[in-house]
Amino acid sequence: MMTMTKKNKVNEIIAYLDEIFPDVGCELNYQKDYELVIAVMLSAQTTDISVNHVTAKLFKEYPTLEALANAKLEDVEDIIHSIGLYKNKAKNVIGIAQAVLTDFHGQIPMDKDELQKLPGVGNKTAGVIRAEIFKIPDLPVDTHILRIAKRFQLVNQNADPYETEMALKKMVDESHWIKLHHQLIHFGRYLCTARKPACASCKLAHLCNVI
């Protein structure tokens, strides 16, 4: 029996995700570009639901970049204390606002290297920002996508997020990157979960190493 190539496997995965998640996008709430940057930074190691809960209060209390840049650290900590790593993230909230104002004239930079100069913004966060705000094709890998890629044996089991991102980009046409990023997150968040994946109802179970 011929072994299915990773490329064919990815094509089957994409077809299924198009079937079950035909129209998905970012689940973080934001109205301004800098609000997305802060929300994505806050989402590390916590849920989008939790982030949306705290940002609703944060952005109401501090409705401008200037207000955030001048916020007291303990006040921001108090607002976001319900999410993980809140003390460091509170510093980053204020730091991002200050950096955008002083270093980027109040505008979120488009360049990936420039984005990563913002406090708390790494490769994954920068990729999300570029794709969401500027519609620049990118396929940043979070914990959900990393788990799925390994379950479908698209990457080695010891691959890190960056290695997984590079591997997936070679397998998938650039035109699918942004949509696939959201689809894989939804798949991992609601079906192919870490502890109790819905394998019995999944049409991709035959490709997976979970069962």
Catalytic residues: 124, 142
Token pair listed for 35: 């609000």
Confidence of residue 45 (pLDDT cuts 50, 70, 90): confident
Per-residue pLDDT at 211: 58
Confidence at 81, pLDDT banded by 50, 70, 90: very high
DSSP states of 143-191? HHHHHHHHHTTSS-TT--HHHHHHHHHHHS-GGGHHHHHHHHHHHHHHT
161: nearest Cα among 171, 148, 146, 172: 146
User: What is the rounded CA–CA span in Å between residue 16 and residue 19?
Assistant: 5
Q: Are 138 and 181 in contact (CB under 8 A)?
A: yes
Give the per-residue pLDDT at 3. Answer: 60
Confidence bin at 209 (pLDDT 50/70/90): confident
| Residue 28: predicted pLDDT | 96
pLDDT of residue 78: 97
Which residue ranges form the domains of the chain, and what is each CATH number?
6-24+139-207 (1.10.1670.10), 33-133 (1.10.340.30)
Encode pLDDT of 192-206 as tens digits. Answer: 999 999 999 999 999
Residue 151 identity: R
pLDDT in tens, 114-130: 999 999 999 999 999 99
CB of 68 within 8 A of CB of 62?
yes
**Residue among 107, 152, 106 at smallest CA distance from 133:** 107
State residue 68 phi and psi, 5-degree precision.
-65, -40
Q: What is the per-residue pLDDT for 1?
A: 37
Average model confidence (pLDDT) across the chain: 94
Q: Which two tokens stand for residue 160?
A: 């890190």
Q: What is the pLDDT of residue 2?
A: 45
> What average pLDDT does range 129-154 have in this prediction?
96
Give the DSSP letter of residue 116.
T
- First-to-final CA distance of the chain: 20
pLDDT number for residue 54: 98
Range list of H helices, the chain? 6-20, 33-42, 48-61, 65-69, 73-80, 86-103, 112-115, 123-133, 143-151, 161-171, 177-190
Kindly list the distances between the CA atom of residue 135 and the CA atoms of 127, 129, 131, 205, in Å, as whole numbers in the listed order.
10, 9, 4, 32
